[in-house]
Structure 1
Amino acid sequence: MTTIRFSHTLFIFIVLMLTGCQTDKLERISYTSQVAGEERDFYLYLPNGYEVSDKNWPVMMFLHGNGERGNGKDELGFVLMHGPLKEAWIHKRDLPFIIISPQLHMFGMDESVSYLQNRDTTSIPKRLEEGIPERTPIAPTSETMNGDESELPDYITLPNGWERVEEDLIGMIDYVIENYRADSSRVYLTGLSYGGFGTWHLASTYPERFAAIAPVVGWGHPDLMVPVAEYEIPVWAFAGGRDLVVRATHFYPGLNKLEELGHTNVRFTNHEDLGHDTWKRVYRGGDLYTWFLTHRLNADSLDQ
């Protein structure tokens, strides 16, 4: 029986490779939010080859920015606006990760933030049956570059951010590891803007869980750095040199703290020609995904 099943799987795989068919899949997983006590959904992306392979796949959790918040049901599609899930599902890139993409609660921000009040579902990108949609251009902002030091804001995380749902996020990772062919030694974390701040917070709070992190246009406060350094989590942080929302210079105190603590596996890339939407170039490229795959937790970390 085992031999027959293996041969059948191998046959399917060969046919799919020869025909060039997409074998990836996007699922909606329901869960009960610990912070809100309500049922919500998150996206779970299964990559090309998952269905016909017996291997365990690396996992990437992506935390979106402030503009993609929602109710986790009919507004979940806004999560597809940016980031790795958009690259994999909308633009059909062959990214070899199981991708967990949750949606942050509104926490009342829809009552005061204009771009949340004025958005509509027609802006949500759609996966085409054939081909891929045209990309928006990556254009330098009109703001001038500014290398002057500026004082670090007095907050550690942004208001009503991802730290409020940290138990939900870890629960999602645990669910995927338990129910899918996921490699618990290769769980990666990345996010943009609000999600960049959330990346630092979650890695600091659960440092034993992540093989590498990549905060994009979201700086980390020095107070969060001790666990990151203690567990030697590989870090690749990204900033926009002309970003007036999250200034590149605000990354320096946290990164300097990591260096002070003896952490050496840290990268910092400043895209001097771009503004806050630096994430477009980061996630459209291939370097970050390749870098993630070079890292895994050691046996000692998995035992803790």
Structure 2
Amino acid sequence: MPRRSRATLTLAEEGPHSPTRRRVGALLTLVLVGVVGVAGYHGVQRLVHAVSGEQCEVTAAGSTFTWAPDQASNAAAITAIAVQRGLPPRAASIAIATAMQESKVRNVRFGDRDSLGLFQQRPSQGWGTAEQILDPEYSTNTFYDELVKVDGYTDMEIADAAQAVQRSAAGSAYAQHEAQARATASVLSGQTAAGMACALRDPETPGSAPDLAALLEKDFGISGEADGTTVRVRTDSGELAWAVASWAVARATDTGALRVGTHGREWARSMEDSALTWASGGSTGERDVVIHLA
């Protein structure tokens, strides 16, 4: 199981999930399907949460996709770094689709030969040291360093652009992830409002406002004001406010965030269905984001 460190990305996983774990997951899925007709939608949702645990959902253009919390957190960092660099959401879509194929958007310590991390970059191929590659911010920036060298990447098919960077033996495989990658990048870049929500248990330890503000600075290059158990952020636009707010929800599994507000709407952490939506309420403006840790 991945281990978590407050205000950092989920630490690298040591190995792939076991066949036994996968079989148990499949069996639980069959059980859930069997109770749909009896319990109804909301009953099944509660059962899903109870059995499968925490989850995140991203919704854009009428489609909803499910992420594990650590995957959502990594995708949020990938997208925030694109925003910080002034890259278009298309760049984040390409990066997320690549990470989906290479690592399932998990910071893994294993792979083919010496491949490591989100993008399965190889120290022997000049991507950096193993320690550097296992720093998701470093590996994401090195991916973008190569992507921007690809002439016309913004107009290319996502799979073609990904392959131009990765040069994989199975380059066409990136295409299967395009829909989820595009929806996720749209939400996490702020183009789609209120599209990221997570059902999460209460954090084991309280989050740290200074640590969260430091992570915000690292991912977005934006300063947040840490005040007690709250971080307040003033952005330059409503779109950027939604990007920061969506990032805060997606990274709540690591930071311990309990509530996030912007545009007069709020996400509140819980394991109930309500945590998979944004409710009306709060007094935050269209350029303001407030992140509560208590």
Question: TM-score band (shorter)?
Answer: under 0.3
TM-score (norm 1): 0.27
Considering only CA atoms, is the larger Rg found in Structure 1 or Structure 2?
Answer: 1
> Of the two structures, which has the highest relative contact order with CA contacts closer than 8 Å and spacing of 6 or more?
2
- Quick check: which one's strand share is greater? 1
